[in-house]
Amino acid sequence: MTTRISARFTDLAAQGRPGLVTFITAGDPDTETSLEILRRLPAAGADIIELGVPFTDPMADGPAIQAGGLRALAAGQTLAKTLEMVRAFREGDDATPIVLMGYFNPIYIYGVPRFITDAKAAGVDGLIIVDLPPEEDAELCLPALEAGLDFIRLATPTTDEKRLPTVLAHTAGFVYYVSITGITGSAAPDANAVGTAVARIKQHTALPVAVGFGVRTPAQAAAIAAGADAVVVGSALVEAVRKTLDQDGKATANTVVAVETLVQELAEAVRGVTRQAAE
């Protein structure tokens, strides 16, 4: 089945360049501002968008994304509102892939069958659920795949040769390689080590490999993109939101523009790279 995600990676391969995957937190700092940021990401250069679903216990996320999630929750963001954001985005963009990234609890509370139906109808293309291991595939992964949603799995520096086939068994869309051990935004990745790791993963799968966690600057993004099919930037964009808020934590005239500008800079850097990963 061709999905928006697979179609986008096919396009990137035809262009001979790596992709830029951008992460923002849904509802940060409020639903209206967040939706405007979401709408501007593709034109700014985002090839794929990860939309974070706020959760009260984001164990894989660093301080920046944790804070963004808390801002969103305080502003009243819910999973239902996040799906509504995707639906509103799709009114003007039917091509850019959107991946929901988060934790299983909000989906469990929402109800898995209902969530899958509503996510598909809203225009969601894939899921990254960081706290659902392969051993729990029956909970969400398998029914999501059956409905046509790509289920994207994380591989890490500690995922060894014995574990990797299990991780990849039901992965679809792309593999998300976590470039560091630890939480998001906590350290800078080593581009050489990442290239080696991506090559190792590609010995086990034909799926594209996107690399994230710790990528903050255009220079870092370009260095990582040289050895991957795509690079993921998240914490830096969430920080760009935070730095523009007023003393009450509300959006200002600079909030949307700051994120848009950073994405443009990241995209320019990444698009200057000739992709090696798929050669």
Domains of the chain: 4-271 (3.20.20.70)
* Tens-place pLDDT, residues 230-266: 999 999 999 999 999 999 999 999 999 999 999 999 9
Distances in whole angstroms, Cα of residue 159 to Cα of each of 153, 180, 198, 210, 260: 12, 12, 12, 15, 34
Mean pLDDT of 151-172: 92
Mean pLDDT of 70-80: 96
Assign 276 a pLDDT band (cuts: 50, 70, 90).
very low
Indicate if the alpha-carbon torsion angle 53, 56, 59, 65 is positive or negative: positive
pLDDT of residue 277: 40
CA 63 to chain centre: 17
Q: What are phi and psi of 157, to 5 degrees?
A: -60, -20
pLDDT of residue 183: 52
Residue 105 predicted with pLDDT over 90? yes
* Rounded Cα–Cα distance for residues 255 and 106 (Å): 27
Q: Which residue type occupies 177?
A: Y
Where is pLDDT greater, at 224 or 186? 224
51, 84 in Cβ contact below 8 A? no
Q: So which residues are the catalytic ones?
A: 50, 61
The pair of three-digit structure tokens given for residue 146, joined into one six-digit string:
């059956």
Residue 95 predicted with pLDDT over 60? yes
The pair of three-digit structure tokens given for residue 6, joined into one six-digit string:
């697979």
| Burial call 42-59: b when 16+ CB within 10 Å, e when fewer | bebbbbbbbbbbbbeebe
Q: Which residue type occupies 94?
A: D
Mean pLDDT of 72-85: 97
Radius of gyration (C-alpha) of the chain in whole angstroms: 17
pLDDT of residue 184: 52
Q: Please count the helices (runs of H) and the strands (runs of E) in the chain.
A: 12, 9
